[in-house]
Structure 1
Amino acid sequence: MAERRLTTRIAGRWDALPAALRIGVLYIGARLATTGLLLLAARASGPGSRFGADASLADLLAGWDAQWYWLVAVSGYPTELPLTDGGQVAENAWAFLPVYPAVAAVVGAPLGSWVAGASAVSLVAGYGATYVLYRLLRERIGARAALWAAVLFASSPLAALFHVGYAESLFLLLLLLALWQVQRRRYAWLYLLVPLMGFTRPGVLAFSLFLALHGIHRWVIRRDAALPGRDVVHIVATGLLAAVVGFSWIGIAALVTGRPDAYLATELAWRRVWLPNAEAGFVPFEGVVQASAFWASQLGLPPAVGVVVFVAAVAGAALWLWRGRTARRLGVDLRLWSASYLLYLLAVFFPQSSTFRLLLPLSPLWGAVAVPRSWVWRIGALVVCLLAQGWWIHEMYALGDTFWRVP
């Protein structure tokens, strides 16, 4: 009896703490766990790894794409695109947008290095994203489930991205803030958030599509939920702003380099790592078809099998978003965003080893995982997240020695 009273008292005091503080405590715990896994990966790194046998935590934080963001911070963007021996555009800095490396440089100046600034920005933005995700979901699934969703998000399989010099943390913070403001019908904030988001990571075109679908939905239900004229103006204006921002980097790259295809050719340079004989030029939705055939061939299956499996997976995801009981608990807006982003990925992306990282903007769907009230389910989901996180860090950072171990 005394133990039960003590447990109840502790739980009551925990619940009485401000949400920002509770999220902070849980986030710090998750970051300590991830730091431990990264240290283990550095220790396990061998001669065959990208990071070598004497890897340190700092090496891992500055690895992979973080090198490109650092290059943008110190050297900017090339005015002349580098070319391969075959005359095709080679990998270069135009694939990486400027907000994150610039912010990391400012923060890193007093800390002594760009890497320190980048890690600090990722850690702080990750906390902000975790807190905003909680606030975003609380209105839909309740405070306790939203807190569990925040814990799963902070401990997710790719939680190392809250530490390393990647733009994902900052982009997620901006994206979740934007979704939260749409959910609260405070559209004026989008005039600030959309440009910041659009120059942090690719994906703002998906937000433009989301705003279009959001506006259509509000129009359809206008008899049940008022649609003031000012909201119509804001939805249309910010949707168009997101589209302009989304395409503007193509124009900026073309203006600086003198090549109209500078940005798209740069992005396709990474695809040639997987398909050396791929034809030049970007064609929407072509990448997913090529990837389906490629991965089927890697498994010794006919290309058609890969396409069929991919189509079935897309259909299943669409059906779950539309009809799934836990997905419906999230509300229309978060499901429309998820559908918009998935369609955007289908149009522009070649699915490969970075696929899981590219799915991070779907993080509001952690709310659907957290909805079931079973403690066994929630704790089991957390354990799976931590195990998957350890596996991903080991594969990408301790090993990192083959084409499918690129984060």
Structure 2
Amino acid sequence: MADELLTSPSVAERPTPWRRIAGLPIAVRIGILYLLARAITTVFFLIAAELAPNWSRFGHDASVGSFAAGWDAWWYWYVAGYGYPTTLPTNEAGLVSENSWAFMPLYAYAALGVGAVLGSWVAGAVAVSLVAGYLACLVLYRIVRMRADDAVAVWAVVFFAAAPVAALFQIGYAESLFLLWLFLALWCVMRRRYAWLYLLIPLMGYTRPGVLAFALFLGLHGVHRWWTRRTEPLPVRHIVHIVALGALAVIVGFSWQVIAAAATGDPGAYLTTEMAWRRNWILDAPIHFVPLEGFVQAAGFWAGQWGTSQALVLTVLALVVAGFAALLLFDPRVRRLGPDLRLWSASYAVYLLAVFFPQSSIFRLLVPLSPLWGAAAMPRSNAWRGGVLAACLVGQWWWIYTMYALAGTAIWTVP
């Protein structure tokens, strides 16, 4: 008995459930956290379905399944079932109307393949999003872990898995799959494993738009590698890879326009298709795309909605851009993430400024900046981390309720 007392751990020394979880392999730990986050999202969806009014897009018959298949998911389903039109549809004014050329094929057909096993395209789409989201969490952990300790990396994943737009992990949108390719690509760049990017860049490019931002990032990355070559040697093979990969990203980024033009016989098929969506917001939307014009047009639109001046809206936008630039340049937590994640964040912000018409989808389009959750996780205060998590969950409920329960009832209810 005395020997047992000497060798058995005291109550205080026995591992708590949290310590047991902390001792599990990282893939299991993140899996547990991810499933908890998805359970919360599911509850939010169930409540939103009950609260959906009859006059909303999904009506009184709203369900988690109809949410998963709604909005852009319908277009991916259409691509999987019917492909792309060879003749662009037009409206009564003879202008190109919304069509499936705005949606890349990889996610649609991946969901089709998985859905063939699970019984429906929607089931396949949700499965692809769920699995890709989990794998993206694992890669995000590895990315942040390169610059911080285990606790910071795990908290970054928690914020990411519970983020305001984390419902994307459970619906028929391509964001989860794109984030997986993006995070893998960033991880490879950070580890200088450039060869993998010859596969990842096309995967990104044909999942959703955004690979041109990666082309800009590779250019800035190459400049930074050259500038710091005395502290980090820059072998010739790395120079060749960076230049070749930058060219590949540009080619892939513009290739969809070439494919659409070849299939329809209209050289501007893709861009005029994208511009068709702007007519949901402004009646006199231009037919042809001009870089940076979207933000100027949106400033005028939102100024009219808010009863203020376009100049004031543009001034606020300029201040937001300047604040984000200052964050990337000077914030010590962001700087700890390293130059590559900061250069990617800057590149993607420039890309959005060049091509996007700001509206309620901006929240969804900001998710490629998710590596910055690593900076949000760095303060050691439990109050801070708990507050960020609470803000994420409140934001997630607001996004689900607004974009799905109230879907289509106002101009700001489009995800």
Is the 2:295–2:353 Cα contact (8 Å) retained in structure 1? yes
User: Who is 2:200 aligned against?
Assistant: 193
Is residue 2:107 matched to residue 1:100? yes
TM-score, scaled relative to structure 1: 0.98
In structure 1, distance between residues paired with 2:410 and 2:276: 18
Aligned pairs for 1:49-60 (under 5 A) are: 49-60=56-67
Is residue 2:335 matched to residue 1:328? yes
2:370 to 363, 371, 395: 363
Is residue 2:386 matched to residue 1:374? no
In structure 2, distance between residues paired with 1:173 and 1:280: 34
1:386 to 382, 393, 398: 393
User: Who is 2:410 aligned against?
Assistant: 402
TM-score, scaled relative to structure 2: 0.96
Q: SS of 1:254's equivalent?
A: helix
Q: Please say which of residues 259-268 and 291-300 is displaced more in the overlay.
A: 291-300
Is the 2:275–2:286 Cα contact (8 Å) retained in structure 1? no
5+ residue gaps, structure 1, are none
5+ residue gaps, structure 2, are 1-8
In structure 1, distance between residues paired with 2:269 and 2:17: 59
Aligned pairs for 1:18-33 (under 5 A) are: 18-33=25-40
Q: CA deviation at 1:295?
A: 1.3
In structure 2, distance between residues paired with 1:306 and 1:290: 11
Is the 2:291–2:355 Cα contact (8 Å) retained in structure 1? yes
2:81 to 68, 74, 77: 74
Matched to 1:403, the amino acid is I
Matched to 2:138, the amino acid is Y
Matched to 2:389, the amino acid is L
User: Who is 1:350 aligned against?
Assistant: 357
Q: SS of 1:202's equivalent?
A: coil
- Report which of the two structures shows the higher radius of gyration computed on alpha carbons: 2
User: Who is 1:156 aligned against?
Assistant: 163
Q: CA deviation at 1:217?
A: 0.4
Is residue 2:224 matched to residue 1:222? no
Aligned pairs for 1:30-69 (under 5 A) are: 30-69=37-76
In structure 2, distance between residues paired with 1:234 and 1:49: 50
Aligned pairs for 1:107-118 (under 5 A) are: 107-118=114-125
Q: CA deviation at 1:352?
A: 0.3
User: Who is 2:325 aligned against?
Assistant: 318
CA RMSD of aligned residues (A): 1.2
2:13 to 2, 5, 9: 5
In structure 1, distance between residues paired with 2:139 and 2:303: 39
Matched to 1:126, the amino acid is G
Matched to 2:324, the amino acid is A
Q: SS of 1:140's equivalent?
A: coil
Q: CA deviation at 1:139?
A: 1.1
Q: Please say which of residues 37-46 and 328-337 is displaced more in the overlay.
A: 37-46
Q: SS of 2:243's equivalent?
A: helix
Aligned pairs for 1:273-292 (under 5 A) are: 273-292=280-299
In structure 1, distance between residues paired with 2:10 and 2:353: 57
Number of matched pairs:
406
In structure 2, distance between residues paired with 1:295 and 1:132: 37
Q: CA deviation at 1:10?
A: 3.8
Is residue 2:261 matched to residue 1:254? yes
2:214 to 203, 207, 216: 207
Q: CA deviation at 1:12?
A: 3.7
Is residue 2:138 matched to residue 1:131? yes
Report sequence identity in percent: 60
In structure 2, distance between residues paired with 1:365 and 1:197: 20
Matched to 1:108, the amino acid is G
In structure 1, distance between residues paired with 2:10 and 2:279: 66
In structure 2, distance between residues paired with 1:9 and 1:139: 28
Q: SS of 1:5's equivalent?
A: coil
Cα deviation digits, residues 9-42 of structure 1 (max 9, x gap): 5444322211111000000000000011111111
Q: CA deviation at 1:4?
A: 4.4
Matched to 2:413, the amino acid is R
In structure 1, distance between residues paired with 2:267 and 2:10: 73
Matched to 1:346, the amino acid is L
User: Who is 1:91 aligned against?
Assistant: 98
